[in-house]
Amino acid sequence: MSNADIIALTSKHVANTYGRFPVAIVRGEGTRVWDADGKEYLDFVSGLAVCNLGHCHPKIVAAIREQAGKLIHVSNLYHIETQSGLAKLLTENSFADRVFFCNSGAEANEAALKLSRKFFSDRGANRFRIVSMEQSFHGRTFAALAATGQKKYQSGFEPLLERFVYAPFNDIEAAKRVVDDSTAAVMVEPIQGEGGVNVPSPNYLKELKEVCKKAGALLIFDEVQVGMGRTGTLFAYENYGAAPDIMTLAKGLAGGVAIGAMLATDEVASSFVPGTHASTFGGNPLATAAGIAAVTTMINDGVLDNCKRVGAYLEGKLNALKSKYGFIKEVRGKGLILGMELAEGIKGGEIVKECLAKGLLINCVGDKVLRFIPALIVTEKEVDEMLGILEPVLSSAGNDKKKG
Ligand SMILES: *Cc1c(COP(=O)(O)O)cnc(C)c1O
């Protein structure tokens, strides 16, 4: 089938929830993908920070192949070898003691929010409020949506779940004002992804942890996007010297296979007992086998070092563009999640379309922040190739603005 064939079928039969680009990607390898008409693209989107090891990494493919021939699904009525193995890996490499597995980021956040309420219910405490941040993104299910501090996602779905309140991100004084003895949990992304690659000041998360501790509230880090090596450490919180009580993971956890996970300390996790929460597909053999392959590859194959080194290289190059073009307002991020904020009047969406036509996939959040989230195995050479496509597009967008 060609791009046109696939687009025609999608338009006719698939729910119209995405404004899609007019290409169908049918194959991928490393940092490259190909569309149905055979055109090649350099991929700096990585399935939205999912394919952190690149497309079809040989170790992920081998793990999936092997597990698919052995056992794909069995149910959590029984013990699952790969599920226990992935839980061991995640807890040995984080603050957490226990893992609940599910299938997406939103589901992981639902589990975290339910666990927070259950934790205080078990203690007979009247603590129901969830504090989250403005410009946050936590997913599209009802509780995750209520926690998402952006009106554009909530609009049309009211009434929202009760007792969700918001504070501005990276504002510790505001957090002190809203977090009190009615707060069950504070949910925050260590770096906001969908909100525009917003990086907190170095002490913010540490201070937020203190605020929670003082009020007796739990702290949840949503690392669905910035976990799994994205910032150059396995988990983003490692950069900020503050561990949460609960952490959620999904996107990069299983090399592209759908998975979600909620990690917690023993003290908090003990509020989940048989019957309190569940997921049919959660922790299934196929997804967790892919997860084990992804985590071990990330830890053992120099992926984190590559992310740090190439991330710094890309950040330097983007800052050089900022010095050159006045319409680039700011470059920010950590490791290989970097954002370039454009001045008013420069249309990020148009830049993304131009790049696509020239064989480069990049992404833009909120039409004004270009987001760079390549695979963590990307090379300096590929960064140069990306910039070779991006810079002429940027400079002509700047010229168009001048002409008005
Ligand atoms: C993508 C994302 C989610 C939602 O994940 P889904 O798998 O789409 O449900 C939640 N939190 C953050 C920070 C995300 O980036």
Residues with Cβ within 8 Å of 207's Cβ and at least 6 positions away in sequence, in order, are 172, 175
Query: What atom of ligand 1 comes closest to residue 109's alpha carbon?
Result: 10
Identify the pLDDT of residue 131: 98
Mean pLDDT of all residues in the chain? 97
Q: Domain limits of the chain? A: 68-300
Taking the centre of ligand 1 as the mean of its atom positions, its distance from the CA of residue 61, in whole angstroms, is: 24
Report the share of the chain in percent with pLDDT over 70: 100
Residue 322 phi, psi dihedral angles, 5° rounding: -65, -40
Pocket lining: 189 vs ligand 1, CB cutoff 6 Å:
yes
Label residue 404 by pLDDT band (50, 70, 90). low
Report the share of the chain in percent with pLDDT over 90: 98
Residues with Cβ within 8 Å of 397's Cβ and at least 6 positions away in sequence, in order, are 327, 346, 347, 350, 351, 354
CATH for 68-300 is 3.40.640.10
pLDDT in tens, 59-112: 999 999 999 999 999 999 999 999 999 999 999 999 999 999 999 999 999 999
Average pLDDT on 275-296 reads: 98
Identify the pLDDT of residue 288: 98
pLDDT in tens, 214-269: 999 999 999 999 999 999 999 999 999 999 999 999 999 999 999 999 999 999 99
Catalytically active residues, by annotation: 137, 222, 251
How far is 359 from 43, CA to CA, in rounded Å? 9
Query: What atom of ligand 1 comes closest to residue 141's alpha carbon?
Result: 9
With beta carbons less than 8 A apart as the criterion, state whether 244 and 219 touch: yes
Identify the pLDDT of residue 374: 98
Which tokens go with 302? 């120099």
pLDDT in tens, 142-181: 999 999 999 999 999 999 999 999 999 999 999 999 999 9
Average pLDDT on 21-31 reads: 98
Identify the pLDDT of residue 367: 84
* Integer-rounded Cα radius of gyration of the chain: 21
Pocket lining: 105 vs ligand 1, CB cutoff 6 Å:
yes
Pocket lining: 282 vs ligand 1, CB cutoff 6 Å:
no
Label residue 49 by pLDDT band (50, 70, 90). very high
Pocket lining: 138 vs ligand 1, CB cutoff 6 Å:
yes
Quick check: bond before 159 cis, omega within 30? yes
Pocket test for ligand 1, best of 224, 257, 363 (most atoms within 8 A of CB): 224
Query: What atom of ligand 1 comes closest to residue 193's alpha carbon?
Result: 15
Q: Of 140-154, 279-293, 351-365, 388-402, which range is least confident?
A: 388-402
CA 250 to chain centre: 7
Identify the pLDDT of residue 211: 98
Taking the centre of ligand 1 as the mean of its atom positions, its distance from the CA of residue 325, in whole angstroms, is: 32
The DSSP secondary structure of 199-217, one letter per residue, reads: PPPTTHHHHHHHHHHHHT-
